[in-house]
Structure 1
Amino acid sequence: MLIIPAENAINWKRPPWVTLGLMLACMLVFLFYQGGDSRKLEQAVSEYLDSGLHQLEAPAYEDYLQREIHFEGEEDRVFELQQFQKLREEGEDFWLSASLLMDSEFYQYLLSNRDLIWTPAERTRWLEKRRFIEETYIQRLSAQQLGLIPAKLSLYTLITYQFLHGGWGHIIGNLLFLFLLGFTVEKALGPGRYLLAYLACGALSGLVFTAFSMGSFIPLVGASGSISGLMGMYVAIYGLQKIRFFYFLGVYFNYFRAPAIAILPVWLGKEIYDYWFAGATGIAYMAHAGGLLAGAGLVWLLGKSWLQVREEFFEPEEDEQDERFTTGYAQAMASLGRMDFDLARRQFEALREAYPDRPILLGHLYHLAKLRPDLPEYQSRTRELMNDSLSRRQPEHMIAVWQEYLSKGESHNPLAAEDHNRVLFASLKQHDLKAAEKAFERLRGADDPLLTTEACRLLAEEFEKLQMAPKARHYRQLLEAS
């Protein structure tokens, strides 16, 4: 059974650079660092066969597996024993030797029980040859150097193991899920916090694995725990919101919608069930469970502080916004066409609340308000449009709106002195002295001595610059009289 969230589509205009970087890092490590493992293993097997160690260890390994099955209750190793016996019968010495060399637990078993297994001469020969192979080849394999080994836990391997993989199938599967989940979580948290949360989930996942594999010498590799953390973060971010999931059952697949957080116990239960009942599959189920809990826990604990989801995450993508805007705008324009002005006004107001950066909406609301110049709404829309024009560096439009209001609405609801003062400044910058003088007259009538005095001084200076003496003298006289 496979269930993965499929709520979002990637926006390639804003690529998930950290997710892509993590994928690239895993691939480069796999190709250029782990690429030498096969050569080291071949050399180890060759040395192992030349030393004849397989003849010493094979009987001991068969006995070791039988003990694990009968005395330790590890029934899942029966298949492993059968496979090993088949290799011995068919004389597959290379693969038999590889199996013996790569079983770290068996090597520890031999070190502890060598006095009971072999004669002193065999013991000395085995220890000399086997230790040389271990130190020269096996311990230099990537999983042994940078993998997470519970019996030899170190802080750096809690990070490094996340970038190692056990084969092409392992890395391709992990990178696919990293991409499917990562781009959404990265968008929600932001690149920096996303990277730290990803690594933290991997580290916590490794600690959970270590707790359930205490003393084990089998290394853990792969990004599965970190990716499980992404799954936990994903559903915690959406919480009780219903999102779309893709599921695959055998040969059947489909989509369903469910509250995001409801899937967490399903995932968690599956990993715990598989840990107890799936047998020796080589899959670190408890690492997955730890990652799921770590991811969800980090968002729940730190979601109101350090791991707070960015507000723009829940906003629709640009294409979706454009489609919604076009639909709503068409409906509002249709209401205008039917002359249903009240409905059109409500529709344009709703659109402007959702899309405040679309100036055309304010224009429509202004023209609708102009139908009733006696109402205060016309004044408020005029002031909004004047301020908007000024912020967009369109002083001519602001002056035109102001002049239109003077002819239609000023007698009902006069503008404030500050409004006329802004027009005066804009007119002077545009060298529209006629509009500036008109604004000054309105400013004088608004009864604000301080603004009036400053405006009078500016007009006098401007006319003096232009050598228009009568005008300059007029404003100087008004200035002296004030």
Structure 2
Amino acid sequence: MPLHRRMTLANAPVVTLTLVLLNCIVYLFLQSGDDRVLRRARDYYIQSQLGRTEFPAYESWLRDHPGSPDGAQRLKAMQMARPDLKIAVIQSDHAFIAALHDDRVVVPADPGYAEWHTKRAEFERIYDSTFTSRHALRFSHVEPGRMFWAMFMHGGLEHLLGNMLFLLMLGLLVEGALGPWWYLGLYLAGGLGASFATVAWHWGDQGLALGASGAIAALMGAYCVIWGLRRIRVFYWFFVVFDYVRVPALVLLPFWLGWQLLNLWLNSGANIGFDAHAGGMVFGAGSAWLLRRCGRVRDAFVEEDEREEQRECHARAYTQALEHIGKLKIAAARHLLERIDADEPGQLHVVIALYRCARYGGTPAQVDAAAARVLSFPATTPPEIRELKAILDDYLKACAGVPRIAPGVLLRLVRLLWRTGAAADAQALLHAIGRADPSLPALPAAWFAFSLHAPEASPQRRERLEYLARHFAQSEFAPKARFLLQQG
């Protein structure tokens, strides 16, 4: 059972949920009247006294055909069960019913044949008027309508719930990987493919088949091929042993398919569609291979599990790196952080931790490079800006107030600070840039823009314009500053 993706509003499988709803509607509403019809058929059977002829005839049939795998249990039921259960036992033996139809049990030469035949025909008319009988897949018949309906019908509530559980788990994954329309096509075609496998396997037999498990098996085969050798988390059990394990998805295919084929061989009388499961699985695997070759698989969705696993691994490594920094094991911390940074570059908390490594155990050049990388981060939120401001303050202390990194990085940070209301910090940084490179061509423009950011006629604007006019008197912005000062 693959259990490696949680369902959220963002990845809700709309088609899968619709299929689940359709299956529930068919069972709870369209098939819900079957019990009433079967009770009417049972009552007619008892009232017409068909059992006087068929009960002893069936017991004789069972004794004359001892090869049936459950013949002993059927014979015991016919000897001890209530009449309604005996009717169910007879109707579930398709070989016996076929013999009845062929007049090999009650033969035309029998004195009561005509009366029996009329009553049996009326009973079957009532019995076969159920929704299930009219729409379920029939062995030895190629009927597309019944093949379609059968994949939305179920033989009981437990059958329905079990199938819908697997449909939800697999549908979440396969629909996300293929998109809604290709997924729907795969599901319906897989169900039809499973139906053809059932008809082929049971050709010449009598009986009915129904259930969504053939289409779901197609999803299982498709899932294995789509995820391929990617490791996925699965839940397994073996008698009383159960656990979670990570294995390549493709490894599940021979286990799933082999289990169906083994049961098809050993448990052919279990009334479970192992043939449909195997056929659907092979069809789904082949279809998924073609869809992948045609580029219809959404690799971004499929790879999300690996990215999530990588994020979890990086989170553990980051916590360990912080512990190393706290113990001044700088080389070990840097090794972990650089590995995270190589896999997922551009994470602020990681580049800040790398700055701490350089600060506590690096050369001045390494400190400058690490600080430049942090201060170049495209911060947009107040918490990120505060993080950058804290690193800036620490870096200015490290370089005695004279920064050694590229002025463009610092000027961008100046604009970020004043636009977020940290005017005093922006002004302090402008002074620091001036101390590092008083002739920087971009510095007068930065001071002029910073001055205009202050309200008109405010002391702050006047102070900044005077500083610009005095310290950058030869720049093109000095006359502009003096003009604005004259205007008040």
**Aligned match for 1:328, one of 312, 317, 340:** 317
**Aligned match for 1:148, one of 122, 133, 137:** 137
Q: Compute the RMSD of aligned alpha carbons.
A: 5.0
Q: How far apart are the structure 1 equivalents of 2:87 and 2:325?
A: 83
Q: 1:275 — aligned with what?
A: 264
Query: Any conservation in 2 of the 1:238–1:261 contact (CA below 8 Å)?
Result: yes
Alignment CA distance shift 1:395-1:93 (3 Å): closer
Query: Any conservation in 2 of the 1:148–1:157 contact (CA below 8 Å)?
Result: yes
**Aligned match for 1:286, one of 249, 256, 275:** 275
Q: 2:486 — aligned with what?
A: none
Q: How far apart are the structure 2 equivalents of 1:300 and 1:325?
A: 33
Alignment CA distance shift 1:392-1:412 (3 Å): closer
* Partner AA of 1:228 in structure 2: A
Q: How far apart are the structure 2 equivalents of 1:436 and 1:89?
A: 99
Q: 1:43 — aligned with what?
A: 40
Q: 1:366 — aligned with what?
A: 355
Q: How far apart are the structure 2 equivalents of 1:398 and 1:89?
A: 87
**Aligned match for 1:166, one of 155, 167, 175:** 155
Instruction: Say whether 1:94 aligns with 2:91.
Output: no
Q: How far apart are the structure 2 equivalents of 1:145 and 1:314?
A: 47
Is the deviation greater in 362-371 or in 195-204?
195-204
Instruction: Say whether 1:203 aligns with 2:192.
Output: yes
Q: How far apart are the structure 2 equivalents of 1:470 and 1:15?
A: 53
Pairing 1:26-425 to 2, within 5 Å after superposition: 29-54=26-51, 76-77=67-68, 79-80=70-71, 93-101=83-91, 117-118=107-108, 129-135=119-125, 137-155=126-144, 157-167=146-156, 170-171=159-160, 174=163, 182=170, 185=173, 189=177, 192=180, 197-214=186-203, 218-233=207-222, 235-236=224-225, 237=227, 239=229, 241=231, 246-248=236-238, 253=241, 261-303=250-292, 305-308=295-298, 309-316=301-308, 321=312, 327-352=316-341, 359-371=348-360, 372=362, 374-375=364-365, 377-388=366-377, 390-393=379-382, 394-395=384-385, 398=388, 401-402=391-392, 405=395, 408=398, 413-417=404-408, 419-424=410-415
What is the deviation of 1:201? 3.7
Query: Any conservation in 2 of the 1:235–1:264 contact (CA below 8 Å)?
Result: yes
TM-score (norm. length: structure 1): 0.71
Once the two structures are superposed, residues 391-438 of structure 1 have per-residue CA deviations (whole angstroms, 9 ceiling, x without a partner) of 333545545645655665697854143641442354255244624754
What is the deviation of 1:287? 0.9
What is the deviation of 1:43? 0.6
* Partner AA of 1:206 in structure 2: S
Once the two structures are superposed, residues 331-385 of structure 1 have per-residue CA deviations (whole angstroms, 9 ceiling, x without a partner) of 324433443322222223334556768644332211222354631x434432332
Alignment CA distance shift 1:40-1:426 (3 Å): same
Q: 1:72 — aligned with what?
A: none
Q: How far apart are the structure 2 equivalents of 1:155 and 1:113?
A: 30
Q: 1:427 — aligned with what?
A: 418
Counterpart secondary structure, 2:128: helix
Counterpart secondary structure, 1:465: coil
Query: Any conservation in 1 of the 2:403–2:433 contact (CA below 8 Å)?
Result: no
Q: How many residues align?
A: 459
What is the deviation of 1:296? 3.3
Q: How far apart are the structure 2 equivalents of 1:339 and 1:113?
A: 93
Counterpart secondary structure, 2:338: helix
Counterpart secondary structure, 1:77: coil
Query: Any conservation in 2 of the 1:417–1:443 contact (CA below 8 Å)?
Result: no
Counterpart secondary structure, 2:258: helix
Counterpart secondary structure, 2:134: helix
Q: 1:479 — aligned with what?
A: 477
Once the two structures are superposed, residues 85-108 of structure 1 have per-residue CA deviations (whole angstroms, 9 ceiling, x without a partner) of 666666954334344455667666
What is the deviation of 1:313? 1.9
Alignment CA distance shift 1:420-1:191 (3 Å): same
Is the deviation greater in 122-131 or in 275-284?
122-131
What is the deviation of 1:446? 4.3
What is the deviation of 1:164? 2.9
Structure 2 unaligned spans of 5+: 481-488
What is the deviation of 1:10? 7.4
TM-score (norm. length: structure 2): 0.70
Identity of aligned residues (%): 23
Structure 1 unaligned spans of 5+: 70-74
Once the two structures are superposed, residues 31-84 of structure 1 have per-residue CA deviations (whole angstroms, 9 ceiling, x without a partner) of 5543432221121122233344455666876898899x6xxxxx753644x566
Counterpart secondary structure, 1:48: helix
Query: Any conservation in 2 of the 1:424–1:436 contact (CA below 8 Å)?
Result: no
Query: Any conservation in 1 of the 2:213–2:277 contact (CA below 8 Å)?
Result: yes
